[in-house]
Amino acid sequence: MSGMTLNMEVMTSLRDAVGKCLAELGKKYDNMLVMTADVDTSSRIQAFKEAFPDRCYNVGIAEQCLMSTAAGLAHEGFKPLTFAFAPFASMRCYEQVRTDICYTKLPVIIIGNGAGYSNGASGCTHCGLEDSALMVACNNMTVIEPGDPAQMVKVLEAAMELNAPVYIRLGREATTSLYAEDVKYEIGKALIPREGNDGAFVCTGIMVHFAMEAAKRIREELGREIRVVDMHTVKPLDRDAVIAAAKTGRVVAAQDHNINGGLGQLVGSTIAEAGITCKLAIRGCPDEFVPIATPEFLYARNGMDADGLYQAMKALL
Amino acid sequence: MAEKSLVRRLEKASLDTKLRLLDLCHQTMIHIGGDLSVCDMMTALWQYAIRYDVENPHWDGRDRFVLSKGHAAAVTSFSQAAIGCYDVQDIYKEYATDFGRFGMHSCNLANPYVDVSTGSLGHGMPVAAGMAAALKRKGSQSRVYCVIGDGECGEGSIWEGAMFAHQYQLGNLVVFADRNGFSFDGPTEEYMALEPFAGKWRAFGWNVVEIDGHDMDAIIDTIDRLPDVSSDTPTIVIGKTAKGHGVSFMENNASWHAGGVNTEDWEKAKAELTAAYQEKWGAAV
């Protein structure tokens, strides 16, 4: 993480939502701990830290240690929330996550910041483009990618109640909000922020916002109604929501993640297994590394922004 | 100096475990080299140091045990059998069988007497540190005992855990290092040198005790003199041991990291171990 320049003054809504929520959760769960690997500031844990200074661990730049010690604490009845940047929270300590946490199904919540291309300007090392695939491949792991501040609060509450390993990937922040604060949220049950039967976007995180824009534009320009499925839980996947989306005949699946191992492939195999004939396009990061670039550039380059999703769906209509 | 009768009792207990290990090794493949090197310390841990309730393996007041060198599962299982966790015969019957409780590495899903599943090296010690942090939070008087191999200290995660234990002042964490000088491929100093091993731990802020890991008197003495649970400094006991200890053709021979023994070797090995005990204590086994 050395050499990285972060503007700590920039308020980012998802992480701020996490920060506010943590302190509240800490009051509710006296066995909740917050652990980070030298990302206290960027993870917005300050409110929790101020309220419960003795319930925080910062293990330094040591993600393997973060996961193993969290496992040890969970063995003894504590509920640790661990924070690290998505690529380091997933790849650097993958075996610790798999063997120390998931094998025994310990209640450790792992929050990976900077997922997808959201850290693009920091370069390849800081882009978490494999984390979802890795965590999905981990038995006993639940994988969630919220895209909205109100949803994020619900995700944390649900994750605390689950009493099992949960990976929460936080990617590019949206400037708009999709849900009211009282949004009904259930792990594994997709949300539908926009109805439609001429096709469906199945997306996570920031891609849901882009899909909403694309669907609106399709309505305005082409007069067709496209459903937007917010597949916030990547695992376990809401198969019913995918099958219902496939029955519209056209699905564009998008995740800010490598296409290989990403949401699109999970959606595709679900549709194929269900025996449904459906046009399918997958958007995400192709099988190539790119040098330093801004998220906006990368989303546009790979057809993952609102225009890219619009074009992908238009081609299926 | 420990009481002579205690030393003799534990040395006899260790001999019993070694003979059982050889019986199992005659039956199937086990990590016999590392089992034998850590057997004396393991015996003292389970049959002298660890506070435990066999009837209630999840008793909150127990001392915790984490086998970071997870491949020493057989010696751990026999040591636990010696205090009544299982019948010794169960180990012969179930070892490496479908859904058996015992295998080449420890598994907590199959066996309630295993706190942490291990096998991948460099994992158990930092997990043990996390458990020690948890016990410290709870104000528990329990210790976390952890057995590591020297070879696994090639894993950076061991040193991350060492820093964590120092930073969070985990005086309730006691690590026993089986410094047998060998990893899978051969001598540690030849492949990836660990010396100055004790110096490394001292530099990481640990309380370091160096002993002959086969000297039961010294092992008992070390256990008796462990710092108080509420102390601020984690302890590592570095036991200098020999891989395949006590069996002439296995000792310090990397090819006996894991394997099975044929009948001739099996009998020879058991005879050697028994003779050594009898020579010291002058008694029939």
Q: Which residue from B135, B138, B161 is facing A65, i.e. has the nearest CB?
A: B161
Q: What's the pLDDT tens digit per position in B264-281?
A: 999 999 999 999 999 999
CATH number of the domain that A239 lies in?
3.40.50.920
pLDDT at position B284, please? 57
Q: Which residue from A69, A74, A103 is facing B126, i.e. has the nearest CB?
A: A69
Q: b vs e for A285-297, b when ≥16 Cβ sit within 10 Å of the residue's Cβ?
A: beeeebeeeebee
CB-neighbour burial class of residue B279 (10 A; exposed 0-12, middle 13-18, buried 19+): exposed
pTM for the model stands at: 0.95
Whether A220 is in a domain gets the answer: yes
Mean pLDDT of B71-89: 97
How many angstroms away from the CA of B82 is the closest CA of chain A? 25
Cβ contact (<8 Å) for B161 and A57? no
Q: What's the pLDDT tens digit per position in A213-230?
A: 999 999 999 999 999 999
Left (φ > 0), alpha (ψ -120 to 50) or beta: where does B169 sit?
left
Question: Could you say which of A169, A204, A239 is where a domain stops?
Answer: A169
- Report residue A315's pLDDT band, with 50, 70 and 90 as the boundaries: very high
Is the same domain home to A112 and A32? yes
Residue A300 has pLDDT above 80, yes or no: yes
- Residue A236: asked if its preceding bond is cis (omega within 30°), the reply is yes
Cβ contact (<8 Å) for A95 and B161? no
Q: What's the pLDDT tens digit per position in A238-281?
A: 999 999 999 999 999 999 999 999 999 999 999 999 999 999 99
SS (H, E, C) chain A: CCCCCCCCCCCCHHHHHHHHHHHHHHHHCCCEEEEECCCCCCCCCHHHHHHCHHHEEECCCCHHHHHHHHHHHHHCCCEEEEEEEHHHHHHHCHHHHHHHHHCCCCCCEEEEECEECCCHHHCHHHCECCHHHHHHHCCCCEEECCCCHHHHHHHHHHHHHHCCCEEEECCCCCCCCCCCCCCCCCCCCCEEEECCCCEEEEECCHHHHHHHHHHHHHHHHHCCCEEEEECCEEECCCHHHHHHHHCCCEEEEEEEEECCCCHHHHHHHHHHHHCCCCEEEEEEECCCCCCCCCHHHHHHHCCCCHHHHHHHHHHHC
Residues of B in contact with A60 (CB under 8 A): 163, 167
Q: What's the pLDDT tens digit per position in B45-58?
A: 999 999 999 999 99
Q: What's the pLDDT tens digit per position in A23-69?
A: 999 999 999 999 999 988 877 888 999 999 999 999 999 999 999 99
Residue A4 has pLDDT above 50, yes or no: no
Q: Say if CB B166 and CB B133 are below 8 A apart.
A: no
Name residues 71-110 of chain B within 8 A of A (Cβ).
Answer: 108-109
Question: Could you say which of A169, A201, A226 is where a domain stops?
Answer: A169
Provide the domain count of chain A.
Answer: 2
Size of interface A-B (CB pairs under 8 A): 87
Residues of B in contact with A71 (CB under 8 A): 116, 127, 130
Residue A3 has pLDDT above 90, yes or no: no
Is the same domain home to A209 and A125? no
Name residues 232-261 of chain B within 8 A of A (Cβ).
Answer: none
Q: Which two tokens stand for residue B64?
A: 């915790």
Is the same domain home to A99 and A211? no
Is the same domain home to A66 and A161? yes
Is the same domain home to A216 and A153? no
Is the same domain home to A67 and A159? yes
Q: Please check whether residue B132 touches A, CB under 8 A.
A: yes
Whether A181 is in a domain gets the answer: no
Cβ contact (<8 Å) for A65 and B126? yes
Is the same domain home to A120 and A264? no
Q: Please check whether residue B130 touches A, CB under 8 A.
A: yes
Is the same domain home to A196 and A63? no
Query: Of residues A219 and A15, which shows the higher confidence score?
Result: A219
Instruction: Return the residue in B67, B127, B138 with the most chain A beta carbons within 10 A, the one to mutate for interface testing.
Output: B127
Residues of A in contact with B116 (CB under 8 A): 71-72, 75, 100, 104
Q: What's the pLDDT tens digit per position in B3-47?
A: 999 999 999 999 999 999 999 999 999 999 999 999 999 999 999
State the CB neighbour count (10 A cutoff) for residue A209.
Answer: 23
Second-level CATH architecture of B4-281:
3-Layer(aba) Sandwich (3.40)
Q: Which residue from B122, B130, B157 is facing A70, i.e. has the nearest CB?
A: B130
Whether A310 is in a domain gets the answer: yes
How far apart CA B22 and CA A283 sit, in angstroms, is 59
Cβ contact (<8 Å) for B127 and A69? yes
Q: Which two tokens stand for residue B279?
A: 């020579």
Cβ contact (<8 Å) for B157 and A65? yes
Q: Say if CB B79 and CB B42 are below 8 A apart.
A: yes
ipTM at complex level:
0.95
Q: Which two tokens stand for residue B181?
A: 């000088």
Residues of B in contact with A107 (CB under 8 A): none
pLDDT at position B222, please? 98
Residues of A in contact with B123 (CB under 8 A): 68, 95-96, 99-100
Describe the crossing of helices B216-224 and B32-44 by its angle, rounded to 10 degrees. Answer: 50
How far apart CA A87 and CA B14 sit, in angstroms, is 47
Is the same domain home to A105 and A231? no
Is the same domain home to A116 and A225? no
pLDDT at position A10, please? 40
pLDDT at position A167, please? 98
The residue range of the domain holding A116 is 13-169
pLDDT at position A8, please? 37
Residues of A in contact with B126 (CB under 8 A): 64-65, 68-69, 72, 96
Instruction: Tell me what the pLDDT averaged over chain B comes to.
Output: 96
